[in-house]
Structure 1
Amino acid sequence: MATDASPKLQDPVPQTHDFDQRTATAEHDGLQFWQFMVAGSIAGMVEHMGMFPVDTVKTRMQALGTCPIKSASVKLALQSILKSDGPKGFYRGIGAMGLGAGPAHAVYFSVYEICKKSFSRGNPDNHAAHAVSGVCATVASDAVLTPMDMVKQRLQLGSSPYKGLWQCVQTVFREEGIRAFYASYLTTILMNAPYTAVHFSTYESTKRGLTKVSPDSADEETLMVHATAGAVAGASAAALTTPLDVVKTQLQCQGVCGCDRFANGSIKDVVRTIITKDGYRGLMRGWMPRMLFHAPAAAICWSTYEAAKTFFQELNNGRSSGTSRFCFMVSERTLTVVANEANRGRSMQVARQ
């Protein structure tokens, strides 16, 4: 997820080190509520769709039972997916994520921007306000994303009994009820709260460190700074919160393909089961693909969000160049994602051999 946002790629303006009211207004970008939602929705969909194959590997590694691979190595996870479903197996459940990521990120970014404006009182250096705003945004967006995330993970399992998105939704609702869609909601919030706190604090410190390296060119390189800082923050926060992510996967996939079903669905019960079966190392299953997912995902999300915001800023200012610039930015990000996916595909073929 992206964090604090500031105006990007605008015409040069006189620089000042004093944060007056004009700076505070610019820091909030002057965008309308619906524009934050659209920018966030685009960023979320590009982020999750681009990194979906890595997320599939992580899910396979974290699920316990007879259906997933017995080993937690990335190589065996890749081989298992290719053997059971072929290359298309890396994209099973992507429709569910496409439906959930857009609305969830729209909620996330809009709630974050509103809370940030309210809590920071115009001070861009109020990192505590940014962290609290991020937690509020997380609670709201998780309520939207959790049901589709559960469907997505069940479809990602090896030999999944569900033929598709809607068949999975109907079957789960009929056999397990509405509560099954939110079985991991509490765990997700408990995971994303520290994730957000670590992400925001790491992002802010990294961004400031990168800006100090070359302050004269900071404005021109601002998208690269955000992408790099986001990648560092995403990887750090992902590694720290992996145990709760394993618990979340267990709760969402319980009873499917031979995966364990838990009596009360409590976090304590799931942790005890994981430790009994796999030892304490079981709580770190999938940490590598989780980091490989969140580092570039945060960079992609940040870059796309800032590009969309820049488009709306120029649109609000009546600049005709806004559309072409936004299209160029998104095209550039898309080409980068495609190139990364191609490289990842070649790596999969090598691993398979």
Structure 2
Amino acid sequence: LCCLANTSAESKGITPIQRMLASCSGALLTSLFVTPLDVVKIRLQAQKSPFYKGKCFVYCNGLMDHLCICDNGNSKMWYRATGQFRGTLDAFVKIVHNEGLKSLWSGLPPTLVMAVPATVVYFTCYDELCGFLKHKMENNPDKVPLLAGAVARVGSASVISPLELVRTKMQSQKLSYKELRICIQSAVASDGLLSLWRGLSATLLRDVPFSAMYWYTYELGKKWLCDKNGLREPTFMITFTSGAVSGSIAAILTLPFDVVKTQRQIELGELEARNSKKLSSTFGIMKRIIAENGISGIFAGFLPRLIKVAPACAIMISTYEFGKSFFHNYNSEKKLGELH
């Protein structure tokens, strides 16, 4: 793909620190935009089915999922229900009116602690792999985004998985850092080092195909739009549109895996809250969902996922590409200035 050459050229013109800054800015903007959507969704969910002590749910800031465990019912948590909402727009208005505008970003700071580093690792790995694979796979350039996207996601998910498990333990059992260290040492001693990656298989089952399809369709769409408009370099709108479309396609195709992963995360969190180890297999959860709700059960939440994923992907990739382009131009101008 021609745009891979553009990406590679840009990557050579900027430093790793600048690439990290570009991905950080994309992560922050994405979180600021998507978090209110999920806060409202959780409030509506809590209104329909109130959370009880020990109940888990998945919260997403547009970059990654985070497991939240309710420790006091609805009364003292950021996702408490305050009045009856008639719908999404009504919930937005009432939350802002009764609790202030900043309540729409409740729970954002702690989730960014892991989301931003994970995003930096993911996007930096993808760019580096693209540059490396481009020379190794000259006869199959169309497969570069597929492979680079899949490998980058495996790497970032594997790095963040133990941290997510630690976070779940701290939330569910209210452990001090000393108690947490003892708890982790005990788990490793009894179940081995791999116990720190519990639930990773469900994450990879969804995220690796999503990442591979996303990057493939993104690069393809970007190239097509550049050619159609007679451009050598993609504009902000081209990257934004390509990101939204590719994110939507990948979200639709991986929806069954997303449903299973969500159920497995919730089960894992509730087991941690009860200090239990009996965790269902990924395919066991899929079979249970189909048995209880039919084949349509593994396609639940189609519209909410699409509404959240499409803009998140569009904002993240367009901001990231804009940041790389900005630093590339900045470095070029700096070199020209030094020559003169």
> TM-score, normalization: structure 1?
0.64
What corresponds to 2:153 in structure 1? 138
CA displacement, residues 264-289 of structure 1 (integer Å, 9 cap, x when unaligned): 33101211222233332221222212
Structure 1 residues 161 and 100: CA distance shift in structure 2, 3 A: closer
Unaligned runs of 5+ in 2: 56-85, 189-193, 336-340
Q: What one-letter code is carried by the residue in structure 1 that aligns with 2:264?
A: L
Decide which of 7, 15, 18 is 1:35's aligned counterpart.
18
What corresponds to 1:6 in structure 2? 6
Matches within 5 A, 1:1-353: 6=6, 26=9, 28-56=11-39, 67=51, 91-121=105-135, 126-146=141-161, 182-216=197-231, 219=233, 222-254=235-267, 263-319=278-334
The offset of 1:77, in angstroms, is 8.2
Distance (Å, rounded) in 1 between the aligned partners of 2:332 and 2:161: 37
Structure 1 residues 144 and 43: CA distance shift in structure 2, 3 A: farther
Distance (Å, rounded) in 2 between the aligned partners of 1:285 and 1:291: 11
The offset of 1:295, in angstroms, is 0.9
The offset of 1:257, in angstroms, is 7.3
Equivalences, count: 290
The offset of 1:263, in angstroms, is 3.4
Kept after mapping to 1: 8 A contact 2:118/2:160: yes
CA displacement, residues 230-254 of structure 1 (integer Å, 9 cap, x when unaligned): 1000011011111111222222222
What corresponds to 2:59 in structure 1? none
Structure 1 residues 59 and 94: CA distance shift in structure 2, 3 A: same
Distance (Å, rounded) in 2 between the aligned partners of 1:173 and 1:249: 28
Kept after mapping to 1: 8 A contact 2:240/2:314: yes
Unaligned runs of 5+ in 1: 8-24, 69-74, 321-353
The offset of 1:213, in angstroms, is 2.5
What corresponds to 1:333 in structure 2? none
The offset of 1:103, in angstroms, is 0.7
Distance (Å, rounded) in 1 between the aligned partners of 2:109 and 2:195: 19
Distance (Å, rounded) in 2 between the aligned partners of 1:290 and 1:26: 34
* Percentage of pairs with the same residue: 29
> TM-score, normalization: structure 2?
0.66
Q: What one-letter code is carried by the residue in structure 1 that aligns with 2:141?
A: N
Kept after mapping to 1: 8 A contact 2:134/2:144: yes
Q: State the superposition RMSD in angstroms.
A: 4.7
The offset of 1:49, in angstroms, is 3.6
Kept after mapping to 2: 8 A contact 1:138/1:193: yes
